[in-house]
Amino acid sequence: RKEVEQDPGPFNVPEGATVAFNCTYSNSASQSFFWYRQDCRKEPKLLMSVYSSGNEDGRFTAQLNRASQYISLLIRDSKLSDSATYLCVVNFGTDSWGKLQFGAGTQVVVTP
Amino acid sequence: DGGITQSPKYLFRKEGQNVTLSCEQNLNHDAMYWYRQDPGQGLRLIYYSQIVNDFQKGDIAEGYSVSREKKESFPLTVTSAQKNPTAFYLCASNRHGSNQPQHFGDGTRLSIL
């Protein structure tokens, strides 16, 4: 079993619609979580940090469910520019330097 | 502007050749990281460094080497022992502790000639 698992998609979303997807992680001791977006052949860019039960940033909402060991990302009012791969990143423990685990990403395609 | 600079953007390696990828940051970050990304896979950690003159192996360190002589610089050498070097290489940095988000350079694409 992979330590961080994501549905690879693609999620095809009409412009203006809402899309949500999850990321599951295996280590119950994980303390911090991040969502990054990665455009084709580009570097990942931080979208949101998720430190507690969740947080919201404009059209993006991230939620953390520690009991079931998953985090979710919801995008409201999707824009064409939201088309990207969304990477789930999990820190496996507070004393583990460099031990961020990356999911393989969920591809989102927003269509006109 | 503060950021992480990787060079070159594209690199080609011949059989038996060592190549070095550059990573420089002016964010005053203590920790720096090297990842490799293959198509359809998540990023995998090669090496990381918490402070100058110290570095640790990641999950896939075989065939790679690094140095950290300056806080700003963390070059990665892909040696001839790395038999499958074709990948997208990403350098990242962050402040104290891995609970801080990492910021990435724009990557180097390495291919075999």
Average pLDDT over residues B62-76: 97
What was the pLDDT predicted at A93? Answer: 62
**Chain B residues with CB-CB distance to A102 below 8 A:** 35, 42-44
B99 contacts chain A (CB < 8 A): yes
CA distance B90 to chain A (A): 7
**Which conformational region is residue A77 in: left (phi greater than 0), alpha (psi within -120 to 50 degrees), or beta?**
left
Contact A94 B99 (CB under 8 A): yes
Nearest CA to CA, how far is A94 from chain B (Å)? Answer: 7
- Which B residues 42-81 touch A at CB under 8 Å? 42-45, 48, 50, 56, 58
- Per-chain mean pLDDT for chain B: 92
Residue A51, pLDDT score: 73
Contact B31 A34 (CB under 8 A): no
A46 closest CB neighbour out of B98, B103, B109: B103
Q: What is the pLDDT of residue B98?
A: 59
Confidence of residue A36 (pLDDT cuts 50, 70, 90): very high
Tens of pLDDT, residues A51-106: 777 889 999 999 999 999 999 999 999 999 999 999 999 987 655 555 688 999 99
**The predicted structure's pLDDT at residue B75:** 98
Residue of chain B with shortest Cα separation from A2: B42
For residue A33, pLDDT over 70 is answered with: yes
Q: Distances from the Cα of A86 to the Cαs of A7, A23, A40, A92, in angstroms?
A: 10, 10, 11, 19
Q: Is A85 on the interface with B (CB under 8 A)?
A: no
The mean of the pLDDT values for chain A is 90
Distances (CA, A) of B26 to A59, A69, B47, B70: 31, 36, 20, 11
Question: E strands, chain A, where?
Answer: 4-6, 11-14, 19-25, 32-38, 44-50, 54-57, 60-65, 70-75, 84-91, 100-102, 106-111
Half-sphere exposure of A105 (CA within 13 A, CB side): 23
pLDDT score recorded for residue B60: 95
Query: DSSP per residue over B68-112, as a string?
Result: -SBTTB--EEE-TT-S---EEEEEEEESSSTTSPPEE---EEEEE
Q: Residue B97 has what pLDDT? A: 65
